[in-house]
Amino acid sequence: MAKKFYVTTPIYYPNDKLHIGHAYTTILADYISRYKKMQGYETMFVTGADEHGQKIQEKAIKSNEEPINFVSKMSKSFQKLWTELGIENDIFLRTTNKLHIKYVQDSFSNLMEEGFIYKSKYTGLYCKSDEAFYTESQLKNGKCPDCGKEVVNVSEDSYFLKISQFKEWIKKELSTTNLLIPEYRVKELINNFINELQDLSITRTSFDWGIQIKEDEKHVIYVWLDALQNYITALKMPESKFTIDEVWNKNSDVELLQLVGKEIIRFHCIYWPIVLKIKGFRMPKILAHGWLVNKEGEKMSKSKGDVINPIDIINLYGRDSLRFYLINNISTGEDGKFSEGLLIETINGILVNKYSNLVARTDSMIRKYNDGIVPFKKINIEHYEEIKNDLYKIRDSYEQHMNNYEFSHSTKDIIKYTELINGLIDKTEPWKKEGEELNSILNILINEIYNITILLSPILIDTSKNVFNWLDTNQDVLFENIGKDFKGTKLNNIKHLFNRLEIK
Ligand code: MSP
């Protein structure tokens, strides 16, 4: 039976258009999901829209629209963006979906029956932008420590989830398992949030755009408790490939990865595991990535007016270039920059110089020396024998980096591999060779381009298709096919994969 892999992104707030920061999270999820497919896994990839809450309701009112019409329109635009970026998600979960709503309501009732919920009054600080509660000491200069915006005083009746009793448990879970990666984020989470862990206010009464609880119609469920459960309810959708039990039961052997930006670790690594624990479910594995930041090193965001629309970038440079840049140039886990200048440097320095040129040089040699037909390999080529071991090692290192979700390291392996093959052309100087020696070198080049393209295929989704078409192969793109021989194929025509660009 095929191994199974379940991957999720946060579900995005449809209060505004998505920008390149959101695209980053989703592209990483798409990369790992496609990689796992290539490794023979059956995969399921969930993304979606977090459609309830005060922020969304206020935005809809401002736009003179009913909230449901407003979020429907926005969510449609999200789905369109994902299609344009080549994202292969299986489910797009909207929290206004009936199945989701029912599950969240029932889940509230169950928690209530089991004694995990009590009614009281919440008096404290709230950041509407992050939909998050804060204590006085958590503020930074009197403002929200995460987004820097004003917080408001809230005082209203609320139901509370008894999470403070799990303080020691969650501390231990975080410190002794790999619930949160990278590991260095654990300490700051414990210091900033867990040491002061209080019961969580899980209903609001001052607005009504949310999931009403059955027990008390004035209350809607706190948007984070609503949204987090999407990772469960996605599995209730008719298109779901896996079942809730399969993924979330304690003995599940489905590999699971949840990607989040670093500012929402708190919700995913405290509240979410505690909810799962209460439900008797397994623990998640959360991979926290950094932000795309502006020149000042601040998170790129709509409110600062410095966001970049991914559609503008892919219209100019193509989606493969953007996907490659974000995976390769932002160290997974750390903050990173994006600018058109940096993107062009990457396109020229790596995609053109190293990959596209290798294909173009090989194509023109095979046309010139062998009428466009891939020759057989008859003899060993000394320079190739010298690097073979290194190539195996790089391939294994790539696999290890991917299995550890070290995405930005994985591309460095592919680059190294490509450099060795370019070096092989320089060392063997095929244009000075003839007969079996020349043919064998050309055959090696084709085989190695095939291997490199397999490694690049979960990132360069269009380019890899071009290259496989050039090689006239419709072999399944599987990791295990690396090293399978090409003989006697007639090359199809191929255009330049990437063109050198001028830095503006
Ligand atoms: N709706 C919540 C998530 C609920 S999940 C149960 C939310 N939505 S969001 O739209 O504000 O952000 C979603 C994701 O986008 C987060 O992982 C966040 O880190 C990511 N990004 C938003 N801006 C970003 C950057 N500038 N850079 C990188 N990622 C960024 O939070």
pLDDT digits (tens, 9 = 90+) for 236-278: 999 999 999 999 999 999 999 999 999 999 999 999 999 999 9
Residue 192 confidence (pLDDT) = 87
Separation between Cα atoms, residue 262 and residue 356, nearest integer Å: 35
Q: What is the CA radius of gyration of the chain?
A: 26
12 CA to centre of ligand 1 in angstroms: 6
Q: Which of 264, 294, 407, 408 is the best mutation target for the ligand 1 pocket, counting ligand atoms within 8 Å of the beta carbon and taking the most? A: 264
Atom nearest to 19 CA in ligand 1: 23
Separation between Cα atoms, residue 27 and residue 21, nearest integer Å: 10
Residue 207 pLDDT level (bands cut at 50, 70, 90): very high
Separation between Cα atoms, residue 163 and residue 1, nearest integer Å: 38
Residue 419, token pair as written in the block: 């450099």
- Do residues 458 and 411 touch, judged by C-beta distance below 8 A? no
Token pair 């466009």 is found at 372
Residue 262, token pair as written in the block: 């670093």
Q: What is the DSSP letter of 89?
A: -
Q: Which of 11, 16, 25, 286 is the best mutation target for the ligand 1 pocket, counting ligand atoms within 8 Å of the beta carbon and taking the most? A: 25
Separation between Cα atoms, residue 85 and residue 311, nearest integer Å: 8
- Do residues 106 and 221 touch, judged by C-beta distance below 8 A? no
Atom nearest to 267 CA in ligand 1: 6
Residue 369 pLDDT level (bands cut at 50, 70, 90): very high
Residue 404, token pair as written in the block: 């550890």
| Statement: residue 228 has pLDDT above 80 | yes
Residue 104 confidence (pLDDT) = 98
Separation between Cα atoms, residue 136 and residue 54, nearest integer Å: 21
CB-count burial class (<10 Å; 0-12, 13-18, 19+) for 246: middle
Q: Which of 7, 8, 12, 265 is the best mutation target for the ligand 1 pocket, counting ligand atoms within 8 Å of the beta carbon and taking the most? A: 12
Cis bond upstream, residue 182 (ω within 30): yes
pTM of the model: 0.96
Decide yes or no: CATH 3.40.50.620 for domain 4-289: yes
Query: Going by C-beta distance under 8 Å and a sequence separation of 6 or more, which residues neighbour residue 452?
Result: 355, 358, 414, 417, 418, 421
Q: Where are the domains of the chain?
A: 4-289, 339-481
202 CA to centre of ligand 1 in angstroms: 21
- Do residues 125 and 145 touch, judged by C-beta distance below 8 A? no
Considering the domain 339-481 in this protein, what is its CATH number? 1.10.730.10
341 CA to centre of ligand 1 in angstroms: 25
Q: What is the DSSP letter of 235?
A: G
| Statement: residue 90 has pLDDT above 80 | yes
Residue 146 pLDDT level (bands cut at 50, 70, 90): confident
**Residues at CB less than 6 angstroms from ligand 1:** 10-13, 21-22, 24-25, 50, 227-228, 230, 260-261, 263-264, 291-292, 299-300
Residue nearest to atom 25 of ligand 1 (CA): 21
468: three-class secondary structure by DSSP: helix
293 CA to centre of ligand 1 in angstroms: 13
